[in-house]
Amino acid sequence: MDQSKDAPRDDLSAIAALEEPTRRRLYEHVARSLGPVGRDEAAQALGLARQTAAFHLDRLAGEGLLDVVYERRSGRTGPGAGRPAKLYRRSGREVGVSLPERRYDLAGRLLAQAVEESDATGEPVRTVLHRKATELGERLGGRAATGVVDLLERYGFEPRREGEAVVLGNCPFHALAREHTETVCGMNLHLLRGALATSGDTSFEARLAPAPDRCCVVLEPVI
């Protein structure tokens, strides 16, 4: 789960864009360059038609893999300096795909925040971790216009109905949860409780119910 956005960007789409050989070569050329690269420069370096290079560079930019910047290469400014050139550079976006879906970056951020705040305030790390997880869940739940179950689907929890309950078939923190069960499952529980609290979905409550081959948290109907 990304803390600044309602839904993660589609990493599968970005990776699929790089499967095209010419596009992959252009991405690698831009990534290796010390500064932004223009269409003409990229086309000449790879022996491509300018139109072909422009098409693939714009596709990479559309996937968020490249950033577009505009600069005057002549160094001149003011009237007569000409229009700024459209240039490309590697973006700061990181792309990764795992199946089943994992969110170890999220767990790492929450744990790091908890350790830093605990060190600064003296409050127990686990107490801070639970609060941080709840706050993040509340932010995400507050933007879940289609309900908490759809939110969990988008973030890889693989929710499915089992009777009146919603079971989560995948734990995005699987490897961490196996080695640090109490810490990670407690974080996960507070994350989902926070999401439920602000999602407007009052029909479920999050409870710990560990079982093999699924998430330790289950959404059970409120009685």
Evaluate if residue 101 carries a pLDDT over 70: no
Decide which of 1.20.1260, 1.10.10, 3.30.1380, 3.10.450 is the CATH code for 104-221: 3.30.1380
Are 93 and 65 a contacting pair, CB within 8 Å? yes
Give mean pLDDT, residues 60-87.
Answer: 77
Decide which of 3.30.1490.270, 1.10.10.10, 3.40.140.10, 3.90.1300.10 is the CATH code for 11-90: 1.10.10.10
Residue 134, amino acid:
T
Better-predicted residue by pLDDT, 7 or 22: 22
Nearest of 103, 130, 102, 137 to residue 114 by alpha carbon = 130
Give mean pLDDT, residues 77-97.
Answer: 72
- Give me the residue spans of the domains in the chain: 11-90, 104-221
Residue 78 tokens, joined = 């003011």
Share of the chain above pLDDT 70, in %: 87
**Residue 74 banded pLDDT, cuts 50, 70, 90:** low
Give mean pLDDT, residues 85-111.
Answer: 79
144-181: per-residue pLDDT in tens?
777 888 889 888 899 999 999 999 999 988 888 989 99
SS3 68: strand
Evaluate if residue 56 carries a pLDDT over 50: yes
Place of tokens 């119910």: 209
Evaluate if residue 76 carries a pLDDT over 70: no
CB count in 10 Å sphere of residue 219: 26
Strands 159-162 and 165-168: antiparallel
Give mean pLDDT, residues 131-151.
Answer: 88
Instruction: Give the ranges where 63-171 is alpha helix by DSSP (H).
Output: 104-121, 125-142, 148-154
- Rounded to 5°, the CA angle 200-202-203 comes to 135
Shared fold status for 11-90 and 104-221 = no
